[in-house]
Amino acid sequence: AALLASSIPKVQQSQRASNQFQPQASFKVAVLGAAGGIGQPLALLIKMSPLVSALHLYDIANVKGVAADLSHCNTPSQVLDFTGPLELANCLKGVDVVVIPAGVPRKPGMTRDDLFNINANIVKSLVEAVADNAPNAFIHIISNPVNSTVPIAAEVLKQKGVYDPKKLFGVTTLDVVRANTFVAQQKNLKLVDVDVPVIGGHAGITILPLLSKTRPSVTFTDEEVEQLTVRIQNAGTEVVEAKAGAGSATLSMAYAAARFVESSLRALDGDGEVYECSFVQSELTELPFFASRVELGKKGVEAVISADLHRLTEYEAKALEALKPELKASIEKGVAFVEKRA
Ligand code: NAI
């Protein structure tokens, strides 16, 4: 989980030991939308990972300079740039993890669903290329609205005959990162120890932090639960408003996405006990997709963790029921979008 803390010393270690034989994990990661507000800092953080041997950066514009710049960092991975649809296939061949932050971000007054019309098409065309060129890769969808873009990706992969539900992830890590930060601040806890599972989806009331399941165990007043839940749900909007038209969360998002990439790579590398929250195909509720903690392994989702949903507080149980109609509608909107174009 502690990407920055853990990766820098490992890189330095491997450089010191460069004349000894030391098997290095060597995964290839592609970022689609790599020249954007999220894409650039995310690419930088992935460049710091000792688990990555190749970093493929794709965008429709401005990616050459980003790659040239990053390629000067003396960390193991080789950085390659790819511009425009004609270079997309080559970008994707042989990659283990594809991260997709391509698309437009929110401006003040917009909901994530307002991005649907533009981003749905972008995600659809990018995932078609992933299906054709990297059908076994883990796919991390960041582009909003995640509640719809993940079902879109699933439908595209099904049409292409390569859908593996264990390898398709909606990135909700930022909700967990925010929940951990806000709870640690509020309760004066050591930040690194705090872990709050966040379930449901990734928009407004569909984001449901399970504060009663916070580790280490901590008690909240009813007022604290209400205030923290609403703050976590609206944290994205807090950033959109502060940026006043210049976009949405990019730096904290890149940090969160890099953590999810690092966890995926550790799982691919055979590490055990790798857990993250993610929006995945799920049987935890009656909804076909649902965010919860999942255990990651070499083949993707090893297990969807149901324990967090047991013994919910009354507040959480009510909020869970309240989010279902909105999440269901967003999922169905994504599915219908692909069916209409089939
Ligand atoms: P941005 O506008 O700064 O960057 C987007 C990049 O995507 C640009 O470089 C653009 O050229 C590129 N792009 C557009 N169409 C493309 C295509 N067809 N193929 C490849 N690249 C393409 O936006 P930013 O701030 O990086 O946000 C990206 C997305 O991430 C937005 O949809 C935003 O809503 C979402 N987001 C998701 C979060 C989450 O928690 N899952 C949190 C924050 C943002």
Measured from the Cα of 102, ligand 1's closest atom is 7
Q: How far is the CA of 257 from the centre of ligand 1 (A)?
A: 13
Residue nearest to atom 6 of ligand 1 (CA): 36
User: Quick check: helix, strand or coil at residue 200?
Assistant: strand
User: Quick check: helix, strand or coil at residue 139?
Assistant: strand
Dihedral over alpha carbons 152, 153, 158, 161 (to 10 degrees) = 150
Answer yes or no: is the C-beta of 60 below 6 A from any ligand 1 atom. Answer: yes
Residue nearest to atom 39 of ligand 1 (CA): 142
* pLDDT score for 311: 97
* pLDDT score for 275: 98
Angle between helix axes 39-47 and 63-70 (nearest 10 degrees) is 30
140 catalytic residue (yes or no)? no
User: Quick check: helix, strand or coil at residue 282?
Assistant: coil
Residue nearest to atom 24 of ligand 1 (CA): 37
Q: Phi and psi at residue 290, in whole multiples of 5°? A: -160, 140
ipTM field: 0.99
At 243, the amino acid letter reads K
User: Quick check: helix, strand or coil at residue 46?
Assistant: helix
Answer yes or no: is the C-beta of 196 below 6 A from any ligand 1 atom. Answer: no
Q: Phi and psi at residue 262, in whole multiples of 5°? A: -60, -40
Q: How far is the CA of 279 from the centre of ligand 1 (A)?
A: 18
Work out whether strand 27-32 and strand 52-59 pair parallel, antiparallel, or are unpaired: parallel
* Angle 161-167-173 from CA coordinates, rounded to 5°: 140
HSE of 293 in the Cβ direction (CA atoms, 13 Å)?
17
* pLDDT score for 18: 47
* pLDDT score for 17: 46
Series of mean pLDDT values for 10-residue runs along the chain (342 residues): 44 45 77 98 98 98 98 97 98 98 94 95 98 98 98 98 98 98 97 97 98 97 98 97 95 98 98 98 98 98 97 98 98 97 80
HSE of 250 in the Cβ direction (CA atoms, 13 Å)?
21
Q: How far apart are CA 311 and CA 316, in angstroms?
A: 10
Tokens of 300: 């993707």
Answer yes or no: is the C-beta of 210 below 6 A from any ligand 1 atom. Answer: no
* pLDDT score for 341: 83
Q: How far apart are CA 342 and CA 326, in angstroms?
A: 25
Answer yes or no: is the C-beta of 149 below 6 A from any ligand 1 atom. Answer: no
- The answer to whether the CB of 72 falls within 8 A of the CB of 29 is no
Residue nearest to atom 1 of ligand 1 (CA): 36
* pLDDT score for 1: 41
Computed on alpha carbons and rounded to an integer, the radius of gyration of the chain in Å comes to 19
Question: Which of 56, 140, 202, 310 is labelled catalytic?
Answer: 202
User: Quick check: helix, strand or coil at residue 223?
Assistant: helix
